[in-house]
Amino acid sequence: MANVVVVGAQWGDEGKGKIVDWLSEQADIVVRFQGGHNAGHTLVINGATYKLALLPSGVLRPSKLSVIGNGVVFDPQAFLDEVERLQGQGVAVSPDNLRVAENVTLILPLHRELDALRETASAATAIGTTRRGIGPAYEDKVGRRAIRLMDLADHQTLPHKIDRLLAHHNALRRGLGLPEFDGAVILKELMALAPQLLPYAETVWRLLDIKRREGKRILFEGAQGALLDVDHGTYPYVTSSNTVAAQAATGTGMGPGAVGYVLGICKAYTTRVGQGPFPTEQDNEIGRKIGERGREFGTNTGRPRRCGWFDAVLVRQTVRTCGIGGLALTKLDILDGFDSIQVCTGYRLDGKEIDHLPAGEGAQARVEPIYETIEGWKEPTANARSWADLPAQAIKYVRRVEELVGCPIALLSTSPEREDTILVQNPFEA
């Protein structure tokens, strides 16, 4: 009986929310282990739409315990707003079913402001962040000056921690010609939030260790995608955290041995939000058709996603860097009706064929995709719930994807609804 890690195998927006929600029925605990409220999930359950950003998808299952791990950066106001919104939709969210790591790093207004200032300073240096303060908060974490959730309970040391934080940020603001932050104001704001936040605080590594020893099933929910990993992604057009599966251990305080089966999520095509390389991008009628049919707009930002053909090179690469044991292929139905479908099987760089995406920014921008053409299908795959419901040519496409990425398809999703899922291999029983 394995614990399961769910990670995005592309640039995020692969449909992880639905898959995590689907798997959470079998789990006892659902844990977010990295990222922040820049990672949105849209779930459709019995016709109702739920939009999550910071909270684990498990909160939509009444009997499950949801956990936000220490690898997340935590915006207090965004958290309280999201809790209030879900409660307004009839979802019970309280310390009874949601815990937050006491050592989680807080995102403060100064982080959001700095993020926006950097992103708007120059088009040449913009990387397409969501301007929600994620990067600056992670910077303060590794700079050892962050304010953490448990600090709100220590009224004696918190003022000194704020002073240490502002020694850095006010120097930056002076350099930008901006007024400095007043530590007393920040202290007052945090003290006002403390009574609402501290009831959720938990020693998460200990909690998860106890639950694992009791035989509970743990589902680790990743945000964004492996190609946005700060080490293994398309740097510098990446997020500020590690998004690969190994972060499930670091971001929760569990040892690597407690992390079991890795399920990668990928679309039957490819999308990307923001700047950065995208070898198979179709900035043409095909890309627009995919985007319109797939409703490719960011859950949090509303930004249209860039769309293109499936890139087997990139997914094969993330299968390796994440140790993925099986893939969940989503949005197959968006490709219904195409006469032919292109799949990228390799790259050409400066006249030479290569089988991976190089790490250098310049080389990534120069790679040219090598395509294989696959016959399309006219019959619908939407709402299919078994292999027998799929057109023969759609099955051939799925099998070819498996061959090219070197990893089996464990799940197939054919609509946003929970029930429209074809199970090939149960990750919890792998």
Q: Provide the b/e sequence for 170-198 (b: ≥16 CB within 10 Å).
A: beebeeeeeeebebeebbeebeeebeebe
Residue with tokens 């492996």: 226
- Answer for the pair 204, 250: CB distance below 8 angstroms, yes or no: no
Tokens linked to 281: 């991008």
Question: Read out DSSP for 102-143?
Answer: TTPEEP-HHHHHHHHHHHHH-TTT-----SSSHHHHHHHHHT
Instruction: Return the amino acid letter for 50.
Output: Y
DSSP 150: G
Active-site pick, 21, 28, 37, 41: 41
User: What gap in Å lies between CA 324 and CA 232, rounded to an integer?
Assistant: 15
- Answer for the pair 327, 266: CB distance below 8 angstroms, yes or no: yes
Judge whether 160 counts as a catalytic residue. Answer: no
- Answer for the pair 293, 269: CB distance below 8 angstroms, yes or no: no
Nearest to 37 by CA among 11, 8, 66, 73: 73
Instruction: Return the amino acid letter for 306.
Output: R
Bond preceding residue 199 cis, omega within 30 of 0: no
User: What gap in Å lies between CA 145 and CA 345, rounded to an integer?
Assistant: 45
Tokens linked to 95: 């310390």
Judge whether 154 counts as a catalytic residue. Answer: no
Residues forming a β-bridge with 342: 373
Active-site pick, 13, 21, 75, 229: 13
Helices (H), 334-420: 361-366, 392-405
Residue with tokens 């939509």: 60
Tokens linked to 274: 């923001």
CA distances from 406 to 148, 323, 380, 424 (A): 41, 12, 27, 16
Nearest to 215 by CA among 29, 409, 420, 410: 29
Residues forming the active site:
13, 41
